[in-house]
Structure formats: C-alpha cells, structure tokens
Amino acid sequence: MKTVLTLFVCSILSAACFGQMKDKIDWGEKFNSNGATLVLKETERNPANGKTVITYDMFASGLPKDVEYTLWMRLAGSDPQSVADALINKDGLVVSVLADPAHGVAEDPIHLKVFAGRGEPKRFGVISNDGHYRVFAEVVPFPIEDFAAPCKLSATMMSPNYFGVLVVVTGLQSNEEFQVDQQSGGERAQTKATAADDGTYRVLLFPFVKGQTSGKLRFNIKAKACAVGVEVPWGAGSYVIQ
C-alpha cells in the first residue's frame, strides 16, 4: 500500500496537526545544505466534495541516501510539524520505505495530497534525524498574481486569514524607482519604492484596519515598463479552500 499524506486534514487555522518540532531551527531554502534542492512535482488535481485535491511527489538532490530523515511541513503562521519518517531512493524520490526485492519489500513513495486557499503556501522540509542535512521547498497551488511583461506581482499569505501578506514583484529594472498604490478598508497610501539590484521588490504587508473584522487589500505598482496589481481579501471569511 502506498503512503498517502492527506495534509488537507489540517486547516490553516490548526496549529497542532502533527508532532511539533521541539527544537527551533532555521527554515527555508536559504538554509538548504550546500548543493541540496527539493522539488515538489505536481502529479494530478482531482475534485473532492467541491474542493480540489492536489497531489505532489518530492524529489531531493544533493543529500546522502544512506541517512534517515523526517519530513516536516509548516503552515502559514505556525511552527514546523513532523509528518512522516522519510528516506531518499536512488532516483531522489522521497519515500517511506525503500525497495528491497531480495526480501519481498516494495518501495513506498510518499504522495502528498493537499487542499489550499488562494495564495496559501505549502512548505516542506526534509531533515536528517541527526540534524546534519536539510532541504526545503515551497509551492503555492492557487497563486494570487498578476502579469504584465516583463513584470510579475505575487501575493502570498504569511499568517492565517491574510493578516500578513508577502508581496513580491519581479521583472523590474535594476534599482528603478516606481509608484506604489495600496489600499485596505478606507485607508490608502501612495508612495515611491525602489527595486533591488536584480529587479525585484519584496514587502510584507499587514492589511488589518482598526475597527474592521474583514476587508480587501489592493496593491498596485506602476513601473517604467509595466503596471501590475492584485486584490487580496483579509479577515473573517477570507480563507476559502479552493
């Protein structure tokens, strides 16, 4: 029987779905072991009770294969939670059991099955049990984004109900100054911002408005070569599994 991790049993508002990591660790791709990468490959999308189930397989490279690992996940705004014991096969596929034909043991891949809301990141880490090796990856099954060549703007939920939203813009000119127009509730601000050397811009927004339980965040930029913008609901009723 294949191992299927139905992570949708834990909603974004749940902080105790699995065993919680006892020791604080650095999290994210910038903390990958040297030369290590983790790729989540989507294999299918299927409807289930009016929602969409997305299935992923995981492929790790740059990590030793003769080591025992633990698969971790991290919901937005929560601490990492352990999901399953893990191993890496000869092709880099993350599995729960390695094939052993001589003893009649079949390989048991870990197939991740998730539900998600718009802009909700699904974050995973494969960490050796001795803590010496680690690799991380993130996918956003239903991105909130806008394109206008050469630019792309995306908004990612960083805390439950979009009370924290990370906006990332790519495709800007190096160090260019551009116009930012943002609004939440009845509050609006127009400011100037500057792109980084690589033509990116990142900002963490907290759209909560005092005296309101919900609303919409509108974030638009106008640059030399493009104009892009998104709208993100926040607060009560904003998080909806797709």
Structure tokens, 121:
């990141």
Give me the residue label for tokens 């009845």. Answer: 186
Determine the CATH number of domain 3-139: 2.60.40
* Rg value, the chain, Cα: 20
Beta-carbon contacts of residue 88 (< 8 Å; ≥ 6 apart)? 60, 63, 65, 67, 69, 94, 95, 126
For residues 233 and 208, what is the distance between their CA atoms, to the nearest angstrom?
10
CA–CA dist 234, 192 (Å, integer): 24
Work out the pLDDT band at 24, boundaries 50, 70, 90: low
Count the Cβ atoms, other than its own, within 10 Å of residue 228. Answer: 19
Q: What is the pLDDT of residues 74-112, one digit of tens each?
A: 999 889 999 999 999 999 999 988 666 776 666 688 999
Same fold for the pair 3-139 and 144-235: yes
Q: Where are the domains of the chain?
A: 3-139, 144-235
What are the angstrom distances between the C-alpha of 196 and each of 38, 168, 228?
26, 11, 17
- Closest by alpha carbon to 135, among 68, 43, 71? 71
**Residue labelled with tokens 């880099």:** 92
185-217 residue pLDDT tens: 888 999 999 999 999 999 999 999 988 999 999
Strands 3-6 and 108-114: parallel
CATH architecture of 144-235: Sandwich (2.60)
